[in-house]
């Protein structure tokens, strides 16, 4: 038994360098994903693909005949989003240590140097723009507009000065479906702009709910989010107003069929009803958490259902 125990100990010791190496690689990969904000990249991948898919549907084209465009569009858009997020991390490295949700970023922990994150940001955005340019000059221009809006107008300017920063940031967050559509149809059919509006209007209630949950963190960082400057009551009213603005938009997508219209309308009314029904019944941050979770599920269900609807329309 002693001999067996020694063998186990020896094998453990001999394996430890490899284990440490694997752990180190895993940590570097995790830091990289944090630097590019992989959650944002993934969610925008869905909306870009939906724009691409619906453009195929409305222009009576087939996906398999456009695999090359799909590749360059989806990878290119993902790269410019990842690059923009990296640039955001580079610019915000002075305030990120002050917020609980951002103090684990590699620019704060020191896992990545600021120049490394800056290099990732510039490299990814330029590579992504070139990939989009291969597909469509309009798609590349829309991508560039998204980059400039997020990095310059939002991160470098309005975020630290005005409560309207959420609305300005929503412009960049709404361009992915336009990029997807422009890859197939540079003329941008009205449906493409409806997708843009859905994304644009969805973001303020989503991020204002998050701002309510993280209000004290934003206050400590000196970021003038709406709940920090004007309080929860006004923020809650603003959230409901933005949600109400979503109500008519599904009507412009009537060609996707009645089942989709019903589902989209139920999602919109359900979100609004939930907000009103629980308005005075829950503590403000719990109400915000409820609205935030609903917004995440809302976006996924809505955009996936658009794709599904084309299979039966």
Mean pLDDT taken over the chain: 92
How large a percentage of the chain has pLDDT more than 90?
86
Which range, of 57-61, 98-102, 113-117, averages the lowest pLDDT? 98-102
Q: Write out pLDDT tens, residues 157-207.
A: 999 999 999 999 999 999 999 999 999 999 999 999 999 999 999 999 999
Q: Write out pLDDT tens, residues 230-243.
A: 999 999 999 999 99
Q: What local confidence, expressed as pLDDT, does residue 313 receive?
A: 75
* Average pLDDT of the segment spanning 208-235: 95
Residues 51 and 159: their CA atoms lie apart, in Å, by 28
CA dihedral 238, 233, 296, 301 (to 10 degrees): -60
Q: Write out pLDDT tens, residues 244-281.
A: 999 999 999 999 999 999 999 999 999 999 999 999 99
The tokens 């394996």 sit on which residue? 15
In the predicted structure, residue 18 carries a pLDDT above the cut 80? no
* Total-model pTM: 0.89
Q: Are 123 and 173 in contact (CB under 8 A)?
A: no
Q: Are 272 and 240 in contact (CB under 8 A)?
A: yes
Q: Write out pLDDT tens, residues 101-137.
A: 888 899 999 999 999 999 999 999 999 999 999 999 9
In the predicted structure, residue 10 carries a pLDDT above the cut 80? no
How large a percentage of the chain has pLDDT more than 70?
92
**Token pair recorded at residue 266:** 């139920």
Long-range Cβ contacts of 141-148 (<8 Å, 24+ apart): 142/175, 142/178, 142/179, 142/182, 143/76, 143/77, 143/80, 143/175, 143/179, 145/175, 146/80, 146/81, 146/84, 146/171, 146/172, 146/175, 146/176, 146/179, 147/80, 147/83, 147/84, 147/172
Q: What local confidence, expressed as pLDDT, does residue 13 receive?
A: 42
The tokens 């603003």 sit on which residue? 238
Split at pLDDT 50, 70, 90, the class of 27 is confident
Q: What local confidence, expressed as pLDDT, does residue 16 receive?
A: 53
């Amino acid at each position: 038994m002693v001999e067996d125990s020694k063998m186990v100990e020896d094998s453990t010791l001999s394996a430890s360098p490899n284990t440490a190496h694997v752990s180190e690689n895993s940590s570097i990969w995790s830091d990289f994903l944090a630097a590019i904000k992989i959650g944002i990249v993934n969610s925008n991948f869905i909306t870009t693909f939906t724009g691409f898919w619906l453009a195929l549907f409305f222009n009576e084209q087939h996906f398999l005949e456009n695999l090359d465009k799909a590749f360059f569009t989806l990878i290119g858009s993902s790269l410019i989003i990842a690059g923009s997020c990296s640039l955001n991390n580079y610019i915000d490295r002075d305030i990120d240590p002050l917020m609980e949700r951002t103090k684990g970023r590699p620019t704060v922990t020191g896992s990545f140097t600021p120049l490394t994150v800056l290099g990732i940001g510039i490299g990814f955005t330029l590579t992504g723009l070139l990939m989009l340019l291969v597909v469509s000059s309009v798609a590349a221009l829309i991508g560039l507009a998204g980059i400039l809006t997020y990095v310059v107008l939002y991160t470098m300017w309005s975020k630290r000065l005005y409560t309207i920063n959420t609305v300005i940031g929503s412009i960049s967050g709404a361009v992915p479906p336009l990029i997807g559509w422009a890859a197939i149809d540079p003329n941008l059919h009205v449906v493409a702009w409806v997708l843009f509006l859905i994304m644009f209007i969805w973001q303020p209630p989503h991020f204002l709910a998050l701002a309510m949950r993280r209000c004290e963190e934003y206050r400590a960082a000196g970021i003038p989010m709406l709940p920090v400057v004007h309080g929860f009551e006004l923020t809650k009213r603003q959230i409901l107003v933005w949600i109400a603005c979503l109500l008519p938009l599904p009507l412009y997508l009537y060609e996707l069929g009645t089942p989709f219209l019903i589902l989209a309308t139920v999602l919109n009314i359900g979100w609004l009803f939930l907000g009103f029904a629980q308005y005075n019944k829950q503590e403000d941050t719990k109400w915000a958490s409820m609205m935030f979770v609903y917004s995440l599920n809302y976006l996924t269900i809505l955009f996936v259902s658009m794709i599904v609807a084309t299979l039966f329309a």
